[in-house]
Amino acid sequence: MDRMQDTLGRPLRDLRISVTDRCNFRCVYCMPREVFGPNHPFLPRSALLTFEEIERLVRAFARQGVRKLRLTGGEPLLRRDLPRLIGMLAAVPGIDDIAMTTNGALLAGRAQALADAGLRRVTVSLDSLDDDVFRAMNDVDMPVARVLAGIEAAAAAGLAPVKVNMVVKRGLNEHGVLEMAEHFRGTGHVLRMIEYMDVGTTNGWRLDDVVPAAELVSTIGAVWPLEPLDAGYRGEVATRYRYADGGGEIGVIASVTQPFCSDCTRARLSAEGELFTCLFAARGHDLRGPLREGVDDNALDGLIAGIWGRRGDRYSELRSASTRPTRRVEMSHIGG
């Protein structure tokens, strides 16, 4: 029996922790430069949760049933001394798995230290193998080779299989899907294609920009036949397929066309300590304030349980022009 459930019977199993709201990319679908420019007011260091505060919150979430952690950002590798935090979290009773999502630009030189500290898995964002397309999408002139080196370093450090996330946007990079599939076939890495989502309010999302997951699977399957795989666990966000010829597997994350709200077991903690119960939430719940005011463990547990117990989020299942809130938290703030 799950220790805690929301109003729709969904347990709390996964916690995504943003360790910084800053990023060294300006991806057009996440942190467009015209919004996140040189004068953008990022959080001051004093507003960020300290490592000790993150650890205490993770202990509280673990008491409520959380077993998996994912470190995110912004770009998590911009947070100083990240291996120290990973080591602290790896020692928390009940935590079985610690993963990280990164753009990969800084990964090559840090993968081994992260693995040594207790990181188990890594997901790297890579939207194209075409250097011109990729540089245009990250908007900081970052070459593909830098990210590929990070992926290989992660695999060499034992953080394998590496998951490679590709956000697919119509008219921008969908023509590179087959090239991505061919590159990662047979490597042991898992390509996961993500439908372009209406996260936040700054990326100019339109439904016409979405390449449906069914189209992506059909495109790849026409060249390399695919067979469906069962989900690995309840709440897995990717629908999985394997190549019939044994070339490995791919995944598609279809939040727009095939919502998976009914099995969502994820909570998100922002860098300044706000708890969000949905990727598309309009507001969070302050946990940093009570922490710094000296809340005891019982009260902290009750606060978290109360927030999750009232949760009824299912934005993707209700997505339409009439139900989309005018204000939503930006993906860069809570790590996707």
The answer to whether position 158 is within a domain reads yes
Nearest in space to 20 (alpha carbons), one of 100, 109, 80:
80
pLDDT in tens, 60-77: 999 999 999 999 999 999
The answer to whether position 275 is within a domain reads yes
pLDDT in tens, 5-39: 999 999 999 999 999 999 999 988 788 898 899 89
Q: Is the pLDDT of residue 331 over 80?
A: no
Total domains present in the chain = 1
The answer to whether position 166 is within a domain reads yes
The answer to whether position 312 is within a domain reads yes
Are 295 and 43 a contacting pair, CB within 8 Å?
no
The answer to whether position 137 is within a domain reads yes
Are 254 and 297 a contacting pair, CB within 8 Å?
no
**Cα(153)–Cα(113) distance, rounded to whole angstroms?**
11
Residue 198: which pLDDT band, with cuts at 50, 70 and 90?
low
Backbone angles phi, psi at 153, to 5 degrees: -65, -40
**Cα(37)–Cα(216) distance, rounded to whole angstroms?**
33
pLDDT in tens, 235-268: 688 899 999 999 999 999 988 877 768 888 999 9
Residue 330's pLDDT is 65
**Bridge partners for 16 per DSSP:** 70, 268
> What's the mean pLDDT when you consider all of the chain?
90
Per this entry, what is the length of the chain?
336
Find the domain containing 251 and state its range.
14-334
Residue 75 sits in a domain whose CATH number is: 3.20.20.70
**Cα(147)–Cα(207) distance, rounded to whole angstroms?**
29
Residue 314's pLDDT is 77
The answer to whether position 3 is within a domain reads no
Q: Structure pTM?
A: 0.91
Placement of tokens 């507003």 in the chain: 47
